Amino acid sequence: MTACAEVISDGRNPGPDAPVSTPFLYQFSVVVVRRLLEGDRLEVAAGQEDLVARFVADALADAKEGSSLVSTLTRALLASPDVEELYADEDELRELINDLGL
């Protein structure tokens, strides 16, 4: 069970030493979370940016094949216990992802 599934099932956020689902998804999530924070489009509990990125990475890893990246990202950010507010909508998230040049 990934950390995302764990938090959804028991309401706890995994600790910082929990394994990362995949290095690529984790790095992708770190960049997305950082850019959202820098653009004032996301608020997270103080010092919990990495846990949010881990939660998002795990949610992306758990997504069913064919799932929308943007929708899954949105749901993960909103479900993360450490996200206080998400101001970006799906169009903004899509643009942010496209700007990453991946």
Q: Where are the domains of the chain?
A: 3-11+19-99
pLDDT tens per residue across span 41-97: 999 999 999 999 999 999 999 998 888 999 999 999 999 999 999 999 999 999 999
- The crossing angle, in degrees rounded to 10, of helices 90-99 and 69-79 is 110
Selected residue with higher pLDDT from 5 and 94: 94
All residues at 6 or more sequence positions from 31 whose CB lies less than 8 Å from its CB, including other chains: 100
* pTM > 0.85: no
According to DSSP, the residues that pair with 69 across neighbouring strands are none
